[in-house]
Amino acid sequence: MASASMNHYEKQLYSVFKTFDVDNEEALDRSAVLQLCDTLQLEDRGAALVDTLFERQSDRVTFAQFRNGLLSVLGSDSVPRPGLSTSAECGSVPLCKTTSPHHSDDDSSGREVAPKFVFGSKKYGRRSRPQRVASEDSPRHRVASESRLDSARARQRMRCKRSASAMESRDDSTVDSYTADLDHDRRVDRDRALALCRSFGMRDIDHCLVNRIFETSSTEEITVGEFFDLLNSSLTTSIAASLDGVSVDDSSKFKIDVVSSDAVVDAWERAGVERPRRLLIELGFTAAGLRPHELERALDDELRALTTPADNSPDARALLLLASHALARLRLDTAWRMLDVARAERDKLRDDLAEANRRARMLAQDVDENHARIEAELKSSLRQVEVRHAEAARAAAAEAAAERERAAVARLALEEEAARRAESEARLRTETSSLQERIDDLQERVRAVEARAQQAEREQARLQEEARAAEERGAQLARSERVAMAELDARLLELRADNQRLRDRNDELCAALEASARAAAARAHAAPSWREEVAMQALPLDSHLANKLEVSDLSLSPNEKKPLDPNEVIQRLRQVLDTIGRLPSQIRDGCPMCNSVEETISNLQKVVRELGEEIIVPESQSRGVTRADVGLQTDSDINTESVDALKKELSDIKQQHEIDKQNLTSVIKELELSLEQMKLEYDKCEEYWTCKLEDERELFADEQRAGDERLADLVAKIADYERQFAPDAAHPPHPPHHPHHPAHHPLPTIDETHSLELQFSDLEDEFAKYKTEKEAEIANKAKEIDQLKGKVEELERRQGDVAPHAPCACGGAGGAGPAGAARWREAGALRARAARAERAAQRLHARLAAADLLVKDLYIENCRLAHLPRLPRLP
């Protein structure tokens, strides 16, 4: 079948059709058509298609007949049902795929079969052969607990199939007529593209999808080919969106944490709350939807605000408690409903999983049967290949016979050639006599050579002039090299100055850290944080690094005015590098930064050696040029070779000079890049630790401020209680204008014992709650302390396993490198946190003890006041 007249979908259908054509006859029997319908997942319409195709008593069906029958069956069921009318949303037209889903082969990995076959971008088949599933013995039964999610997915699959039928439901005559008139390079706009789709029979294509395709393009018109490509990709992406939309919509219902205000009002009315709408407005919830946890928080705040009983406070407290209880019941009912839905979904998913496993087993059986058909097809193709091979062997034998005949003819031709060569040999013997005549010609050539020798002497003089010019150029190159060395020295001095500035900046930062550490130590009531302890511990290491850098500083001062000789510069560089190389090995071993510095030093030593060799090379070259001049004067026969050698040597010298220049330039660039990176890392480190210190200071200040506020509140409350329960006899009378006069007393007088008992019970409940919270906080702190101690012990064990190393010059922890330093910092941080947690626990214990003593004192005072004689009420 010619594939040029097919569209993309017909080619896909034809490729699936060919997978079942084992005999390669371009036709399928009834069983193969049934298997093809199962692969296409036609379900109940597959049987109708088979009955339609084989109703004329035909044994086989061609691809054209199968395609027309499939289009007729799909077109007859293209009218959507009422329950599926919701799929007409904009941009949600999916495209049906005829490929089967993937399946797992974990349960039958022991029996290997043929490898998987590939169709398009999908892979099918199994690595092993599963057990046969007797589908005839165990017919399929629909589970009773099939939920709306399964039905929604079935509706999505039906939409896919109807969309595919819309794409394919056009007869062959219409396709042929439109294909003849269709120009893929013709440009169309939105209206013409929609009309073109409808003219091809795709009447279910939504205009919103066409509009979205044209919105993605930068122009108002696109070609027909581009339009259909974009339409195909949009339909493909719509499948996944439509199939996944059901599960997303269902799962999003359980994430809603907003209830309507009417539901809350109804719940409060049922619970007996008076004027629920007014109460809701007074709490600040006027919107139609509200969050239950926010409403509960507002109710709790109102309840906590009612600390001092008044005339109407018991009713208000009862009203708020009733509203809070009703709201909690409402949230509990909602949670139970969500739990019931989740349980139903869980049962449905279990049933769906069992059904999917059964379908997977059936699909594996179908794939194994497909493998068997493919193996049969491969065997038939192998037989055809063997037949073709036999024919090729016969053709090769015939060609070999013809080649033997051609070889015989060639042998006769070679014999004739041998005879001709014998005749030519005789002719050459006769020509030997003529060679004597050429001797005279050779004598004349000797005289010509003597003339050329004289000319060579003149050429020798010219070459001597060129050699002197070459020597002058060599001197000029040496001067340019000295200039380059001077530039390198200037750059090196700049780098040293930058390094000195960085060291000064480091010293300033170290001094600032020391000052901050001393200022933190001056505060006796606050312990230093672990970051400050780490900063104070890092000061000796920074000073050690600064001393090492000052010892290893180069002695080339930028104030020197005299020009330096290259040999002197190289000698001084070697001395500096040797001084760096003689640093103690325990400072350098095992640190990645020290290793990189050593590599840089070795590269600098290599460059210094190359520069020394480069200075020596011109002298040897000049001596070579002198020897070449002497050779030119003594030997006139090799003048040309000597000149070529000098030119080649000069070009090699220039090339070597350029290479050395490039190497020096690259080394300088690497050094500059390393310096910039070091600056950036230093700035980042400085900013990081500055921010950390500021955060810790702010956190400590906030904690201290909160503690002071709580302590001040507690002291004020204790003072109020003391003034309230203090006897009048213990204090002298005050004038009316005095602040301690009863008229200025901040608390009301206690006029009866019942109110005093009620106040004491409230205070006792408040203290019990406070004590419970603090005990839980102490337990959490103790647990955190135990965890931190365990981590510290583990880090100490790991640190003890690592051999101790001397501190590295670059700030690392010797052989441990950055990992060792990180472990030390982590251990210090854990120790600091453990110390802070212990101090916090001690402070909490002290506060609890003080509060306990206060309650005991209040209880004793309450008992004493209860047994005193009742004072007369003031008029």
Return d(Cα 171, Cα 72) in angstroms, integer: 9
In-domain check, residue 359: yes
In-domain check, residue 344: yes
Backbone angles phi, psi at 231, to 5 degrees: -65, -40
In-domain check, residue 419: yes
Q: What is the pLDDT of residues 535-550, one digit of tens each?
A: 444 444 444 444 444 4
Residue 206 corresponds to which tokens in the numbers above? 């939504």
Query: For tokens 């109710």, what's the residue?
Result: 299
- Domain match, 515 and 663 both: yes
In-domain check, residue 525: yes
- Domain match, 418 and 287 both: yes
| 134 vs 330 pLDDT, higher one | 330
Return d(Cα 295, Cα 493) in angstroms, integer: 72
Structural domains of the chain, count = 4
Tell me: pLDDT of 374 over 90.
Answer: yes
In 732-813, alpha helices (H): 753-801
- Domain match, 290 and 244 both: no
* Residue that is last in its domain, among 249, 271, 306: 249
- Domain match, 237 and 264 both: no
Residue 707, SS3 per DSSP:
helix
What's the one-letter identity of residue 402?
A
Lowest mean pLDDT among 159-168, 216-225, 230-239, 484-493: 159-168
Tell me: pLDDT of 178 over 60.
Answer: no
- Domain match, 392 and 427 both: yes
- Domain match, 239 and 278 both: no
Tell me: pLDDT of 753 over 70.
Answer: no
pLDDT category of residue 573 using cuts at 50, 70 and 90: low
- Domain match, 268 and 392 both: yes
- Domain match, 517 and 568 both: yes
- Percent of the chain scoring above 70 in pLDDT: 58
Q: Are 866 and 753 in contact (CB under 8 A)?
A: yes
Q: Are 194 and 207 in contact (CB under 8 A)?
A: yes
Average pLDDT, the chain: 69
Return d(Cα 811, Cα 588) in angstroms, integer: 11
So what's the pLDDT on residue 414? 92
In-domain check, residue 466: no
Return d(Cα 269, Cα 279) in angstroms, integer: 11
- Domain match, 664 and 539 both: yes
- Domain match, 512 and 659 both: yes
In-domain check, residue 438: no
In-domain check, residue 459: no
In-domain check, residue 22: no
Which residues have CB under 8 Å from 232's CB, separation 6+?
A: 8, 95
Q: What is the pLDDT of residues 657-683, one digit of tens each?
A: 788 888 888 888 888 787 788 778 878
Q: Which domain holds residue 863?
A: 749-867
- Domain match, 323 and 356 both: yes
pLDDT category of residue 38 using cuts at 50, 70 and 90: confident
Which residues have CB under 8 Å from 75's CB, separation 6+?
A: 165, 169
Return d(Cα 308, Cα 377) in angstroms, integer: 94
* Residue that is last in its domain, among 653, 674, 705: 705
Please state the pTM of the whole predicted model.
Answer: 0.23
Return d(Cα 296, Cα 439) in angstroms, integer: 129
- Domain match, 226 and 268 both: no
